[in-house]
Amino acid sequence: MSGSPAVVMRLVASAYAVAEKAGTIVRKVLHSGELGIVEKTGANDLQTLADRLAQQSICSSLSKRFPKITIIGEEDLPSEEIQEDLIETGQSEEILQRSCPPEFSQLKEEEIVVWVDPLDGTKEYTEASRCLHFQAVAQAPHKGLDTPQPHSTALWLLDNVTVLIGIAYGGRAIAGVINQPFYNYQLGAGTQLGRTMWGMLGLGAFGFQLQEVPGDRRIVTTTRSHSNKLVTDCVDAMEPHEVVRVGGAGNKIIQLVEGKASAYVFASPGCKKWDTCAPEAILHAVGGKLTDMHGNAYRYDASVKHMNSAGVLATLRNHEYYVSRVPQSVLQALKSD
């Protein structure tokens, strides 16, 4: 390779290290037991100290190195002096060594938009924390849980949590990094905590083993905590052999690329651009597709509306089948932008 790496490769290489740092923050806050939960629009829309610190870390680290890039984070935070120890300066050497796909090699910082979800699956994160009894039970006596949950449930919920950094150019999601802080999580015992996946159009996706659901089984994955009648009607219309209800947009794309689900179906507003940008880039990098319920693409320019109002439909294969099954009631309720 001649000359210094393209801007976008340096950005992805930094985003990789920054996402790992954010994952460390997410684990640390869980262990502290002080989640600092704030309700944003309601009880199903939460923010914790981990969301706040991870976003500060990601946005400050990236804007320090790439000052002209537009960075849009999920959390609305006061602009204040950031603690020095939140800044990550590392870069993935492996990514820096890769050749940039020609169509992106000349991108300038000011043409790039980064969408940041510092902690996707916050609902599951808080529930897992309660399961682990890190929080004072007296203050939140199994809120939302019928019975005390065993540790295995907490571990399963923690698997739903991801850190998402999506990179867009010309309105398209072109690259993404996903850190899964609790992958292979063994309380206090894991040697390698978490994992990081990344992908780029024209290069492929890395950090996991790409797999498809065997045979023609339709395994539909959907929300576990933001459901409604439209969502369940739409899932039923897909005539699934199996339905997998898990938290997080990032996690549901992981289900698709690791062959645990054939389609992610969410016929409701609620998901935002920071939820879908990084996952979409990784999914598209391996030949999959993410659209609204009409089969139309979302755009990721800096000026777009944040809400994915027309729902999320994502697949690795056979996207047309799932689009064709979406009921009229859903199409009428969820208009494309």
Q: Interface residues with ligand AMP (CB under 6 A)?
A: 44-45, 120-121, 223, 225-226, 247-249, 270-271, 275
- Nearer to Mg ion by C-beta: 226 or 294? 226
Residues 73-92 that bind Mg ion (CB under 5 A): 74
Least distance in angstroms from the C-beta of 257 to ligand AMP = 16
From 48, 117, 120, 122, active-site residue:
122
Name the closest residue to ligand AMP (Cβ): 270
Among 20, 88, 117, 124, the residue binding Mg ion under the rule CB under 5 A is 117
Tokens coding 160: 């739903």
Give dist(CA 324, CA 320) in Å, integer: 6
Three-state DSSP at 251 gives helix
* Residue 337: closest CA among 303, 287, 296, 301: 296
280 binding Mg ion? (CB under 5 A): no
* Residue 227: closest CA among 266, 192, 193, 263: 266
Whether 89 sits among the annotated catalytic residues: the reply is no
- Nearer to ligand AMP by C-beta: 109 or 156? 156
* Residue 10: closest CA among 56, 60, 57, 69: 69
Select from 2-10, 78-86, 230-238, 274-282 the region that touches Mg ion (CB under 5 A): 274-282
In the stretch 159-198, what mask flags binding to Mg ion with x, by CB under 5 A? ----------------------------------------
- Kindly list the strands in the beta sheet with 263-266, ordered across the sheet, starting from the edge strand earlier in the chain: 242-245, 219-222, 263-266, 312-315, 289-291
- Nearer to ligand AMP by C-beta: 44 or 83? 44
Give dist(CA 305, CA 213) in Å, integer: 33
From 51, 117, 120, 292, active-site residue:
51
CA distances from 323 to 265, 292, 329 (A): 10, 9, 13
Residues of this chain that bind Mg ion (CB under 5 A): 74, 117, 119-120, 275
